[in-house]
């Protein structure tokens, strides 16, 4: 007849199992370090680096769409024409601003590895998440497909300009953008 397990044996077995789970989790976390990020940006410390912006009820939304294709080959950020608007926050108040960009894009390049990037700015400053100029909207596959990004930022009173900009990693690349929607929403 087998000998019954004691509380000590159960405790040791439980601790051993917990150690194995922690060891496996640590190994998986270490394996997620990417020394050369696929977006073409510089190596950055491994996350998470979560930013929290508290937003209340939706107050208003400004939505712009464009179904005509445009292209750019610039390596410096330039405006996505039409994807800009002005918002106003009443005196002594603040608002949470959410920006959503959806678009059909293609990143066409004769190079093996290039990316096409976007960013949202409010009053000329990047909104969160700030990809430090490397928020890839698309990569070197020349096939058009749907993509989306959302940014958020809390701002104080006054007039503010919100806009989308785009660029390529190499001037030989063409960033094709079509059928986009630019949605700027203000929340308390």
**Could you report the per-residue pLDDT of 28-59, keeping only the tens digit for each?**
344 455 577 777 888 877 888 898 999 999 99
- Asked if residue 180 lies in contact with residue 103, where contact means CB atoms within 8 angstroms, the answer is yes
Contacts of 179 (CB under 8 A, 6+ apart): 65, 66, 67, 103, 104
Domain positions in the chain: 58-187
Question: Model pTM?
Answer: 0.78
Class of 58-187 per CATH?
A: mainly beta
**Could you report the per-residue pLDDT of 84-113, keeping only the tens digit for each?**
999 999 999 999 999 999 999 999 988 767
């Amino acid at each position: 007849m087998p000998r019954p397990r004691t509380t000590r044996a159960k405790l040791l077995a439980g601790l051993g199992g917990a150690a194995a789970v922690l060891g496996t989790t640590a190994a998986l976390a270490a394996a997620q370090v990417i020394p050369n990020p696929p977006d073409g940006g510089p190596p950055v410390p491994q996350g998470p680096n979560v930013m929290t912006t508290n937003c209340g009820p939706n107050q208003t939304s400004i939505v712009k769409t464009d179904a005509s294709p445009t292209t750019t080959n610039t390596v410096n950020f330039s405006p996505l024409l039409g994807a800009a608007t002005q918002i106003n926050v009443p005196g002594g108040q603040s608002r949470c601003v959410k920006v959503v960009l959806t678009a059909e894009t293609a990143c066409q390049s004769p190079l093996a590895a290039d990316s096409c990037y976007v960013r949202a700015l409010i009053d000329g400053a990047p909104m969160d998440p700030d990809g430090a100029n490397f928020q890839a909207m698309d990569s070197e596959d020349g096939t058009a497909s749907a993509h989306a990004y959302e940014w958020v930022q809390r701002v104080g009173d006054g007039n503010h300009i919100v806009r989308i900009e785009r660029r390529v990693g190499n001037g030989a690349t063409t960033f094709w953008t079509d059928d986009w929607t630019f949605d700027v929403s203000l929340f308390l």
